[in-house]
Amino acid sequence: MLTDYTAARQLLRHGAELLDAGAPAGPGASMAKLFASEAAVRNTGRAVQILGGSGFIRGVEAERLYRDARITTIYEGTSEVQRLILSRALLK
């Protein structure tokens, strides 16, 4: 979990540095969004698994965090859209 957190922060920092430098930041931002949202789902899923059945009870923090993480792969640029942006950047 810590590895995913650290990698997501580094990707975010890299995208911000590109933007600050006036360089094209689209692919960098897409990598950060894609990785961070997928890592959030992966790690909150692990937290729910660790808690067992109580992780699914409404009102338990892990359950709410999982729902919140899952929606990040859907709205404001789905993971599939981010992958499309990145594949187009690779083919240029």
Give 28-78 pLDDT, tens digit per residue.
999 999 999 999 999 999 999 888 877 777 888 888 899 899 998 888 779
- Which H or E run includes 80? helix 79-91
Q: Which residue in the list 17, 61, 76, 80 is annotated as catalytic?
A: 76
Instruction: Examine the residue annotation and report whether 76 is marked as an active-site residue of this protein.
Output: yes
Contact 71, 37 (CB under 8 A): no
Report pTM.
Answer: 0.86
**What's the pLDDT tens digit per position in 67-79?**
899 998 888 779 9
Query: Class assignment of domain 2-91?
Result: mainly alpha
Q: Which of 41, 26, 32 is nearest to 13 (CA)?
A: 32
- Measured CA to CA in angstroms, residue 9 lies from 20, 55, 64, 90 at distances of 16, 26, 22, 22
Number of Cβ within 10 Å of residue 66's Cβ equals 21
